[in-house]
Chain A
Amino acid sequence: MELVIFSITALIAVIGAVAMLTSRNAVHSALFLLMNFGAIAVLYLLLQAPFLFAVQLIVYAGAIIVLFLFVVMLLGAERDEDETNPIRWQTPTALVMAILLIAEVVYVLISNPQTTVARVGNANVFAAPTDIARALFTTYLLPFEIASFVLLTALIGVVVLHQRRS
């Protein structure tokens, strides 16, 4: 059962990713990315992370993708890559490297003697949002604050970059 759900969602995620990678139109890519994010959200659920499931949907699907779409529409930059690629060897080299990287990861995953097959998904620990909140405000207080500073920085940045020259 678990495996089935995993397989389906995984498939969707990969398809979404590949489609995003290949589709010529930025809007389509954004939508495929949305699909991928959704699939990943489902996986979060499988992994007993409901809070992150929510965050994923809200922040990514709700905010970031919308932001992307918004910008794409605003700029009308759907098809910005139609002129020919100036660097011919770029794509093939990139693919080769990507495959190599995959190969390395796969090597890591399969080569090692499976002393104990780590498993995930048993239900006895359910990371409730409250636990995460508590963690955020106790153990991870400082990182939390810093995250806020990061957002502040981004805020200032965006404002600065778009203030008109006086």
Chain B
Amino acid sequence: MLPTIFYIGLSALLFVIGVCGVLMRRSALMVFMSVELMLNSANLALVTFANQWKSLDAQVMVFFVITIAAAEVAVGLALLVMIFMRKQTTNIDSMTTLKG
């Protein structure tokens, strides 16, 4: 019987770490991983609340989120590989031809 806020605090912490990852890592791969982390922490929050409210909806939602995450990663990695084939790098600092 733990207070909800323990879980929420944890998920928030993880979420922010994920955010930091997106902002601070320069390899697109790492950025994707960080995004995954963000989504995961959100999932954790959802599951927590599902349990608090004794409701299934949130768990279903988590299921969808996981699906979406997978899809996004798939597309993202595909793009990344495609770009890597030309640029030989996954570093997003090197992808700044469009600016201004």
Contact = CB atoms under 8 A, between A and B. Distances in A.
Contact of A120 (B2, B17, B62, B66): B2
Nearest to A102: B16
Contacts of A131: 56
Interface residues of B, number: 68
Interface residues of A, number: 81
A40 B34 contact: no
Given A10-B10, A49-B47, A118-B3, A81 B78 contact: no
Contacts of A37: 40
30 contacts: A14-B14, A18-B17, A21-B21, A49-B50, A49-B51, A56-B43, A68-B77, A71-B29, A75-B80, A75-B90, A80-B29, A80-B90, A83-B91, A90-B23, A97-B23, A98-B16, A102-B16, A105-B16, A109-B5, A118-B52, A119-B3, A120-B2, A120-B7, A120-B51, A127-B59, A132-B56, A135-B56, A154-B75, A157-B74, A162-B82
Interface of B: 1-10, 12-14, 16-21, 23-27, 29-30, 32-34, 36-37, 40, 43-44, 47-48, 50-52, 54, 56-57, 59-60, 62-64, 66-75, 77-82, 84, 89-91, 93
Nearest to B4: A118
Nearest to A27: B29
